Structure 1
Amino acid sequence: MSLRRRLDRCGVSAPEIDALAASVSRVATIEADREILREDDVTAQCRILLDGWTCKYIPLNTFRPQILSLQIPGDFLDLQGLFRRRMDHVVASLTPCRIGVIPHDAFKRLMERHPRIGRMVQLEAVVELATARRWLLNAGHRQAYEGMAHLICELFTRAAAAGLAEASRFPMPLTQTELGSALGLTLVHANRIVRRLASAKLVSWRGRWITIEDWDGLTEVAEFDPAYLKPEHAAP
C-alpha cells in the first residue's frame, strides 16, 4: 500500500504500478540489525522496502557510524545502483523488513516502456538529495533541539504520505540512540532533547509511537517546510 501511494503521488498510473509490481522477481525477509548492502558491494538489482525501516551509513573504523538517512515502507533502497553499481555506503535493517527485488535489466526495460516510471525514479533521486541537504543542515548548523524537531516533522510527513500515520501519531520503531545518531547526538543528549520536546507539549513518545501534540508549535521550532519532500515540487 505504501508503495502504491508513493507511485500514485508521482503520477504513475494503476497499470504502470501493476507492471512494476510484476517485475519484482522475489521478496526477501530480513531480520533486524542486518546489513542488506555493504560498502563496495556491486549490485545488479534494485530493492524496494515493503515493510520495516532501514538506514544508510558509511562504516568507520574509529567512530560509531552516523545514520545518514532513514527509509520507510515505499522507499527504494539503492536506486543509485542503476547508474553506479558499486555501493559507497551500507544499507542496514533497523527492524524486521520485507524487501522487493527487481533486477536492473528488468527495471530498465520497465522504464523504457513506461516513461512515467522513469520520471518517478528521477523525482525520487531529487527528493533524496533534497532530504540529504536538510539532514546536513540539521547535523551541522541547527541546535539539537531544533534539529530533532525538524527530523520528527519530516518523519511524520513521510509516514503520513505513505499511509502509516494515524491522525497525529506515527510509528517510531527506532530507539532514541538510533534517532539521535541521525543528528550526531549521544543517547544521553538525544534523551534530554526528547524530554524537552515533551515538556514543551510539542510531542509525546509512548512505546513505539510518537504523537504530535502541537504541529504548529513543532514546525515553528523546526522551521519546517515540507515542500522538499513532495515530488511535485521536485521538478517542473
Structure 2
Amino acid sequence: MNDSIIAVKLSAHWPLDRQNREAINRLVGRSAIPRRTGTDLFAQGDRLTSIFFLLEGWGARYKMLADGRRQIVSLLLPGDLCDPFCFLLHRADHGVAALTPIKVAEVGRGQFEEVALERPEITKAMWINALITASIQREWCVNLGRRTALERLSHLFCELYHRLCKVGMVTDAGFHFPVTQLELADATGLTMVHTNRILQEMRRKGLIELQRRHLIVPDLAALERICAFDPSYLHPAAQEAL
C-alpha cells in the first residue's frame, strides 16, 4: 500500500517506521470526504470536535474583520494538517476555507487522541509540524510588516516552491498554482490592482511564468535573491536536530 500524503509529510519531520505510517494511513483513509471551493471546514468561533487533514487541493486559514474584509493568514497545501491541536482551545479563533475543490480526512477527537497516546512517534511528528507551522506564521508577519510588495510576492512564491518540493509536487521548476489575484492580495496585504502590477513586473523580469493556474520559477536562486529568502524557517532538517 502506498503511503498517504499525510504519512509522507509527517515522515519528513520525524522518522516513522512502517507500522506508524500504516496507522496514519488508516486514520486518514477511512473518512476522506470532498469539499467544494469556497466552503469552510470550520469558521471563526466554532467549537471543534474534529481534526482535518488536507489530502488534495488548496485551502487557507483566514480572519474576518467586522466590515467583511478578509486577511488570509496562511495557505494550506496537500499534506497539511489543519490545526490538529485546536480542539484544546474553547473556540476556533480563525476559519479554514477551501480555495479549490479539496479532499479532507475528518478525524474525531477520540480517534486522534487514541493514536496520539498509543503511538508517541506520530505525536512527535505532529508537534514538529505544529512548531514549523508557527515558524511559517512568524515569517508571514515579517512579510506583512517589513517587506516591499515585490519582496512579499517573491517570498511567498519561494515558500510555496519549497513546501511543495517537500511532498514531491514540483516538476520542471513549476507547480499547480490555483490561487486567484484576490486571494494573493488577501494573503499579502495588497490591493488587487497593486498585486496585478507586481505580477506583471515579475513576468517582465523573467522571475516567474504564470499561466493556466501553473507557476514556473525559471531561476529559483534569482527569485530568492530578490527577497533574501532563507528557507531555514521551514526547518527542512528538523528530524536531524533531534
TM range (shorter): over 0.9
Q: What is the distance in 2 between the residues matched to 1:39 and 1:217?
A: 39
Letter in 2 for 1:162: V
Q: CA deviation at 1:56?
A: 0.8
How do 1:16-55 residues align onto structure 2 when only pairs under 5 Å count? 16-24=20-28, 25-55=30-60
The TM-score with structure 2 as length reference comes to 0.92
Q: Taking structure 1 as reference, are residues 109 and 85 closer, same or farther at Cα in structure 2, changes over 3 Å only? A: farther
Matched residue, 2:160: 155
Q: What is the distance in 2 between the residues matched to 1:158 and 1:107?
A: 25
CA displacement, residues 171-221 of structure 1 (integer Å, 9 cap, x when unaligned): 100112111211111111111111111111111101111100111110011
Q: What is the distance in 2 between the residues matched to 1:63 and 1:143?
A: 25
Letter in 2 for 1:144: A
Matched pairs, number: 236
Matched residue, 2:210: 205
Q: Identity over the aligned pairs, expressed in percent?
A: 30
Question: Is the contact between residue 174 and residue 214 of structure 2 (CA under 8 Å) also seen in structure 1?
Answer: yes
Matched residue, 1:186: 191
Matched residue, 1:9: 12
Q: CA deviation at 1:116?
A: 1.2
- Aligned residue among 210, 216, 224 for 2:221: 216
CA displacement, residues 40-67 of structure 1 (integer Å, 9 cap, x when unaligned): 1111111100001100111112252110
Q: What is the distance in 1 between the residues matched to 2:16 and 2:237?
A: 12
Question: Is the contact between residue 180 and residue 190 of structure 1 (CA under 8 Å) also seen in structure 2?
Answer: yes
For structure 2, the residue ranges without an aligned partner over 5 or more in a row are none
Q: Taking structure 1 as reference, are residues 122 and 231 closer, same or farther at Cα in structure 2, changes over 3 Å only? A: farther
Q: Taking structure 1 as reference, are residues 119 and 231 closer, same or farther at Cα in structure 2, changes over 3 Å only? A: farther
Letter in 2 for 1:216: A
Q: CA deviation at 1:233?
A: 3.4
Q: What is the distance in 1 between the residues matched to 2:191 and 2:65?
A: 16
Q: What is the distance in 1 between the residues matched to 2:229 and 2:205?
A: 17
Aligned-residue RMSD, C-alpha: 1.6
Q: What is the distance in 2 between the residues matched to 1:8 and 1:122?
A: 12
The TM-score with structure 1 as length reference comes to 0.95
